[in-house]
Amino acid sequence: MIQGELITFKSNLKKAGERQIAERIAMTRLAINNAQEAANSEDKSSAGDKYETGRAMGHLEKDMYARQLAENIKDLDKLQKVNTDVIYTTAQTGAFIKCADYSFFIAAGLGKQQIDDQLIFFLSPDSPLAKLLLHKKAGDSFLFNKKDTVILEIY
């Protein structure tokens, strides 16, 4: 691929990640609303503490989703700041690393993603694997899944 195609490819990966995180945010907001509605609709019963327990559980669930929402918003913000307009020669945030059996995109921790019939590992820049790859260049090798893996290309 020529330089413009490489940049477009990475930009498309970034957009796919942004869409996935945006979907997570929407689903988490819906879960927060559902948890709030469940807590609000808990009827007082003759069972005594059941009412208070149900409301407390609803609030705990809402708090858990609120933490997830905050984390997703933070992840989206970090991903939006990733520069995909540069062709990198070493592994770093915004780089795409191609190996014989695996490909990695250091931008956001979204795990394995199927993009255009290609399996790509989306790595958080703070992940252990991204830190292991940091500053490596084409031709360097690293241990992945108990197998020595050679970097074929970085951009």
pLDDT at residue 12 is higher than 70: yes
pLDDT at residue 43 is higher than 60: no
From edge to edge, which strands make up the β-sheet containing 103-106?
Answer: 111-115, 118-123, 103-106, 96-99, 147-154, 141-144
Dump pLDDT digits (tens) for 96-128. Answer: 999 998 999 999 999 999 988 889 999 999 999
The answer to whether residues 143 and 128 touch, using CB atoms and an 8 Å cutoff, is: no
Give the number of other CB atoms < 10 A from CB of residue 32: 18
Binned at pLDDT 50, 70 and 90, residue 40 comes out as confident
Binned at pLDDT 50, 70 and 90, residue 60 comes out as confident
Say what percent of the chain tops pLDDT 90: 75
pTM: 0.85
pLDDT at residue 49 is higher than 70: no
CA distance 128 to 142: 12
What confidence score (pLDDT) does residue 79 get? 96
What confidence score (pLDDT) does residue 52 get? 64
pLDDT at residue 46 is higher than 50: no
Phi–psi pair at 41, nearest 5 degrees = -90, 0
Binned at pLDDT 50, 70 and 90, residue 34 comes out as confident
